[in-house]
């Protein structure tokens, strides 16, 4: 990478970040294209300033912060239950999964353990969030590539999962259901049978998508060999989740980092793919969705009886200490580094969000690709703006 | 024109009929495609209903759309080249109207009995490339520029398979006259059996497939819609157009789809001919347009079905398909047709 | 399984994490100042300021901690705006909180700002937090970018949120905030602007449910 080119683009990006409008600046070599904050391809308000030579990307620089809400500052003045309501909205598609690492970190510091039934239900809701999140991805990546139909199928079938989440928690997108010491309410009657039926539907959906999208020759021509990320580069950049498993690294926090939830009580498989290209990332996520349906089925069958909330005081004061808990969220590894000084509110919460690290590889991987491939690669890395910007 | 009904029309009456006929030939396919295929068929294939509010089953949605576009503000970007910007939609429409001239809808229902009809139609269809280039260039928008440059490359590349696919038909029909091609199919026979005539789709099935792929690309429909790639370029060369100007492009796109489908019906499916009735009879002057319309709807059903199902090819893959795959197949098809024509 | 806790006489020990920090302490020698293990949960080491980059190199190249979790900064100054959700300062901007003593976290420290980086090993499935004091007068630290390319954005965020500069970083500029933003928002003495703009109404009592006793009542 030519340092002057890099400095030039950094200057442009800095200027562009300052400008309040989509100003496009000309340089001597190459055209600067601004895939601006309002664009159908970016999942939210992300801006990519790309220097092009015809249709070849010489250098690309993402600019973010259009959705920065200052979560880490806000958590310093919120009590622990209030923080739970807040952090639902970081990755707004994998709704329940955001709350879990924070609650677990607080529980570790308080030395409280949630009863087995609560852990079980947490795991089920976690996997349901994963299914609904990745189902959207499966349709969404297809529409980025031009196939307008699978996304409707994805939304249609995702509704069933969201209905199940709503039946338990009362909220489709922001459940706010996890509590320190357990969960808020027990399952409604008949929920287990309904969820079994929904899992059957989701497996059918996965098969349909595999046929419709993965088997399509044009999809394969557009995604095979595009955006190859070798495993060691991925690890160096902190890539996590399906992105790193698609590069062949056999690492899944559900299996390798037990935090007390019920994944070690069921029989499931970690999917990897050796290629590391966009096709591999799509393929791994499809297999993971199917695997998640199987996990949910097994968990539903082995649900223990018992209380759903451990004994915790009404006013929660977490004792002084620090802890980092990370879980395998739908987008990747999400973790909370919780610093507590024994007050009602946390002292510092560092939110390690998956998409932040997943996106940081974008300048590296977008070099030398074509403009259509930029869309493919970004779609396959699958980031959520709320996760990047917090 | 309609002189065999023993009713001679004066020249100005014929002209009025021709103008009305031309407009109908352009607007009717556009309207029916937009409603039937774009609104309803696409919706059903995506497990949703489509517009249902305006009129029974959303049938008046077209009227609402036209009204919406007509009442919009006429926006032209500040740095755009005004005259070129305004002229571009009309250039695209002109090519559509010019193609309708040679399309036969009955033994006497045609605008002009051109001896080199098909040659004119294919030549004139390239004018739309200029219109697209004008639209993208004058928009003062980098997305439009990218879109129109992609379109230019794509449309020029796919002209060749289009033309070469037709050459096989011409060899078999022994004439470039479109009316002559219809008659050749009507009066021909398949190995001696003249029951349904000789629609060229049976012998020219490769040519038909090539023609269908080429018109999908000429219309910039998915899987060849790089110029209008919605997820990358917003709307490509159309990005800066709004209101009536956008409606012109929109109508032009669907009307061109209609005209190309009609062309495919004429070349491969027998045009306005239905087996059983003598091709020279006067009844075909009334029945012919309806038959042609039906065949056109059938062909365009496939165009829109592909549009809805497939992702889009990248520009270089698209060009590779045209130059390295379709053109060699077309050349082989021509040689085979010529050889078999002499043999049989 | 990543951690095997053994209970001996009511005290749990975490063999894997103890081994991990011992490895670090041995490889770093004098540079590693303190270590701490929270059994079953996490482990920390604190290194001297000039050993920050060396710790990263040792972690990646010698001890095989190839995965970078995050790099950030903790500001240990007690907030002058109070820590509670419902403080005087939110209602009366001129009120001053009682100044408390600065307490540091698990591995101690001397300065107000501490950098924290977390690296993870996929072989042992252990993550180690590496802390380091940031000198108050210069507020600069070595950049880890020569070891882990992915800390680019983490360090840019730390720069804009805390004002800590990283030497060796190729393009230290704002990540989230506009270029001309004044101040470093995550510092404790930077107020939460939302509370300054609109005063916090305090803990509002939840409204009682509407009375179904006298007016129309189906359900009891």
Please state whether beta strands A178-179 and C113-121 pair in parallel, antiparallel, or not at all (unpaired): unpaired
In order, the DSSP letters of B9-37 are PPHHHHHHHHHHHHHHHHHHHHHHIIIII
Q: Does C91 touch chain A (CB under 8 A)?
A: no
Query: How many domains is chain A built from?
Result: 2
More confidently predicted of B178 and C6: B178
Structural domain of A52 = 1-66+358-390
Whether the per-residue pLDDT at C220 is higher than 60: the answer is: no
Q: A285 and A191, same structural domain? A: yes
Q: A242 and A136, same structural domain? A: yes
Question: What DSSP element (H or E) covers C115?
Answer: strand C113-121
Average pLDDT over residues C152-156: 90
For residue A46, CA distances in Å to A50, A64, A91, A239, A359 come to 13, 6, 15, 19, 11
| pLDDT score, position C84 | 62
Rounded CA-CA distance A31/A314 in Å is 60
| pLDDT score, position A65 | 85
| Burial (CB count <10 Å: 0-12, 13-18, 19+), residue A141 | buried
Average pLDDT over residues C16-29: 86
Residues of chain B that touch chain A, judged by Cβ-Cβ distance less than 8 Å: 42, 45-48, 142-143, 146, 222-223, 225-226, 229-232, 234, 308-317
DSSP bridge partners of C159:
none
Last residue of a domain, one of A283, A313, A343: A313
Q: A387 and A262, same structural domain? A: no
CA dihedral C47, C50, C52, C56 (to 10 degrees): -110
Q: What are chain C's domains?
A: 5-197 (3.30.460.80)
C208 — phi, psi (to 5°)?
-70, 155
Q: pLDDT band at C204, cuts 50/70/90?
A: low
How many residues make up chain C in this entry?
Answer: 220
| pLDDT score, position B1 | 44
Rounded CA-CA distance B224/B317 in Å is 10
Structural tokens at position C116: 């924290």
Q: Nearest CB to A375: which of B47, B232, B309?
A: B232
Average pLDDT over residues C51-57: 89
* Signed CA dihedral, C164, C165, C169, C170: sign only: positive
Please state whether beta strands C126-134 and C165-167 pair in parallel, antiparallel, or not at all (unpaired): unpaired
3-state secondary structure of A49: strand
More confidently predicted of C7 and B195: B195
Residues of B in contact with A149 (CB under 8 A): 45-46, 308-309
Residues of B in contact with A27 (CB under 8 A): none
Segments in chain A below pLDDT 70: 1-29, 38, 40-42
pLDDT tens string A229-245: 999 899 889 898 899 99
Residue A307, CA atoms < 13 Å, CB-side half-sphere:
9
The 10 Å Cβ neighbour count of residue C101 is 5
Q: A54 and A169, same structural domain? A: no
Whole-model pTM: value is 0.86
| Distance between start and end Cα atoms, chain A | 30
Chain C touching partners, 3 or more CB pairs below 8 A: A
Q: A178 and A244, same structural domain? A: yes
Nearest Cα neighbor of B264 from B298, B290, B306, B288 is B298
To the nearest whole Å, the CA of C105 is away from the closest chain A CA by 7
Q: A278 and A206, same structural domain? A: yes
> Directed axis angle between helix A278-301 and helix A371-381, to 10°?
20
Q: A296 and A186, same structural domain? A: yes
Query: In this complex, do B234 and A40 lie within 8 Å of one another by their Cβ atoms?
Result: yes
Segments in chain B below pLDDT 50: 1-4
| pLDDT score, position B51 | 84
Rounded CA-CA distance B49/B57 in Å is 9
pLDDT tens string C172-189: 888 888 877 888 888 888
| pLDDT score, position B238 | 79
Q: Which residue's entry shows tokens 């045609």?
A: B110
Helix %, strand %, coil % of chain A (to 5) = 50, 15, 35
C152 — phi, psi (to 5°)?
-50, -60
| pLDDT score, position C3 | 41
Q: A183 and A237, same structural domain? A: yes
Judge contact between C115 and A108, C-beta under 8 A.
no
Q: A303 and A207, same structural domain? A: yes
ipTM comes to 0.85
Q: A236 and A129, same structural domain? A: yes
B13 — phi, psi (to 5°)?
-70, -40
Mean confidence (pLDDT) of chain C? 78
Q: A376 and A243, same structural domain? A: no
Rounded CA-CA distance A366/C88 in Å is 50
Q: A259 and A163, same structural domain? A: yes
Average pLDDT over residues C196-220: 55
Who contacts C123 (Cβ-Cβ below 8 Å, separation ≥6)?
Answer: C64
Q: Does C72 touch chain A (CB under 8 A)?
A: yes
CATH of residue A179: 1.10.645.10
Residues of A in contact with B229 (CB under 8 A): 146, 372
CATH of residue A365: 3.30.390
| pLDDT score, position A10 | 62
Q: Nearest CB to B231: which of A146, A213, A370?
A: A146
């Amino acid at each position: 990478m030519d340092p002057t080119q890099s400095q030039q683009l950094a200057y442009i990006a800095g200027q562009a970040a300052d400008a309040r409008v989509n100003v496009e600046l000309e340089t001597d070599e190459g055209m600067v294209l601004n895939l601006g904050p309002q664009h159908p391809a970016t999942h939210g308000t992300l801006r990519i300033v790309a220097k092009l030579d015809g249709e070849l990307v010489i250098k690309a620089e993402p600019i973010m912060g259009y959705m920065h809400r200052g979560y880490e500052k806000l958590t310093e003045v919120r009590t622990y239950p209030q923080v739970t309501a807040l952090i639902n909205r970081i990755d707004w598609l994998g709704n329940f999964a955001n709350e879990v690492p924070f609650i677990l970190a607080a529980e570790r510091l308080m030395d409280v353990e949630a009863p087995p039934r609560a852990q079980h239900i947490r795991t089920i809701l976690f996997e349901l969030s994963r299914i609904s999140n990745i189902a959207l991805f499966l349709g969404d990546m297809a529409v980025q590539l031009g196939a307008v139909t699978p996304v409707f199928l994805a939304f249609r079938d995702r509704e069933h999962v969201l209905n199940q989440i709503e039946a338990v928690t009362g909220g489709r997108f922001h459940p706010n259901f996890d509590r320190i010491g357990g969960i808020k309410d027990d399952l409604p009657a008949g929920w287990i049978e309904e969820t079994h039926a929904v899992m059957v539907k989701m497996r059918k959906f996965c098969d349909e998508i595999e046929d419709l999208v993965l088997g399509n020759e044009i999809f394969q021509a557009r995604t095979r060999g595009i955006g190859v990320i070798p495993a060691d580069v991925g690890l160096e950049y902190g890539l996590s989740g399906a992105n790193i498993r698609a590069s062949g690294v056999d690492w899944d926090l559900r299996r390798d980092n037990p935090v007390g939830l019920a994944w070690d009580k069921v029989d499931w498989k970690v999917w990897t793919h050796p290629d590391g290209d966009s096709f591999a990332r799509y393929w791994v996520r499809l297999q993971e969705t199917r695997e998640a349906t199987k996990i949910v089925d097994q968990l539903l069958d082995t649900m223990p009886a018992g209380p759903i909330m451990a004994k915790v005081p009404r006013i929660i004061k977490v004792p002084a200490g620090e802890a980092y808990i990370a879980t395998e969220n739908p987008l990747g590894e999400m973790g909370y580094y919780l610093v507590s000084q024994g007050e009602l509110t946390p002292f510092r919460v560092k939110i390690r969000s998956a998409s932040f690290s997943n996106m940081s590889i974008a300048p590296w991987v977008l070099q030398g690709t074509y403009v259509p491939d930029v869309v493919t690669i970004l779609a396959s890395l699958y980031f959520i703006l709320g996760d990047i910007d917090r | 024109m309609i002189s065999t009904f023993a009713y001679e029309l004066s020249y100005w009456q014929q002209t009025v009929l021709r103008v009305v006929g031309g407009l109908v030939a352009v607007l009717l396919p556009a309207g029916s495609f937009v409603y039937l295929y774009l609104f309803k068929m696409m919706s059903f294939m995506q497990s949703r209903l489509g517009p249902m509010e305006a009129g029974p089953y959303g049938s008046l949605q077209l009227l609402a759309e036209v009204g919406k576009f007509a009442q919009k503000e006429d926006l032209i970007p500040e740095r755009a080249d005004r005259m070129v910007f305004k002229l571009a939609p009309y250039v695209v429409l002109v090519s559509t109207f010019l193609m309708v001239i040679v399309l036969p809808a009955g033994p006497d229902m045609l605008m002009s009995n051109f001896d080199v009809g098909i040659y004119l139609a294919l030549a004139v269809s390239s004018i739309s490339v200029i219109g697209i280039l004008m639209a993208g260039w004058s928009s003062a928008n980098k997305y439009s520029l990218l879109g129109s440059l992609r379109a230019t490359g794509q449309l020029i590349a796919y002209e060749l398979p289009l033309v070469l696919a037709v050459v096989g038909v011409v060899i078999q029909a022994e004439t470039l006259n479109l009316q002559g091609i219809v008659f050749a199919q009507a009066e021909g026979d398949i190995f001696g059996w003249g029951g349904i005539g000789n629609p060229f789709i049976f012998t020219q099935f490769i040519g038909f497939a090539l023609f269908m792929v080429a018109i999908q690309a000429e219309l910039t429909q998915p899987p060849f819609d790089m110029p209008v790639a919605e997820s990358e370029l917003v709307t490509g060369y159309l990005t800066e157009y709004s209101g009536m100007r956008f409606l012109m492009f929109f109508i032009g796109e669907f009307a061109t789809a209609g005209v190309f489908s009609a062309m495919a019906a004429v070349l491969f499916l027998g045009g306005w001919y239905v087996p059983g009735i003598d091709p020279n009879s006067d009844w075909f002057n009334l029945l012919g347009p309806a038959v042609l319309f039906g065949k056109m709807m059938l062909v365009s059903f496939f165009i829109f079905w592909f549009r809805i199902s497939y992702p889009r090819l990248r520009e270089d893959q698209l060009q590779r398909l045209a130059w390295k795959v379709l053109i060699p197949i077309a050349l082989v098809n021509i040689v085979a047709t010529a050889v078999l024509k002499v043999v049989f | 399984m990543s951690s095997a806790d053994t209970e001996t006489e009511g005290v749990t020990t975490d063999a894997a994490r103890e081994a991990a920090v011992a490895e670090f302490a041995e490889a770093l020698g004098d540079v590693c100042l303190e270590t701490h293990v929270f059994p079953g949960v996490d482990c920390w080491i604190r290194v001297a300021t000039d050993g920050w980059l060396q710790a990263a190199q040792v972690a990646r190249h010698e001890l095989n901690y190839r995965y970078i979790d995050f790099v950030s900064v903790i500001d240990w100054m007690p907030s002058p705006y109070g820590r509670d959700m419902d403080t005087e300062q939110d209602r009366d901007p001129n009120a001053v909180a009682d100044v408390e003593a600065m307490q540091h976290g698990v591995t101690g420290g001397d300065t107000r700002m501490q950098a924290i980086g977390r690296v993870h090993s996929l072989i042992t499935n252990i993550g180690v937090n590496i802390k380091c004091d940031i000198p108050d007068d210069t507020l600069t630290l070595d950049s880890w970018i020569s070891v882990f390319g992915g800390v680019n954005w983490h360090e840019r965020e730390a720069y804009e949120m805390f004002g800590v500069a990283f030497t060796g970083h190729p393009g230290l500029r704002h990540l989230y905030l506009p270029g001309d933003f004044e101040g470093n928002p995550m510092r404790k003495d930077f107020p939460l602007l939302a509370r300054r703009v609109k005063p916090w109404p305090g803990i509002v009592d939840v409204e009682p449910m509407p009375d179904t006793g006298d007016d129309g009542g189906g359900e009891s």
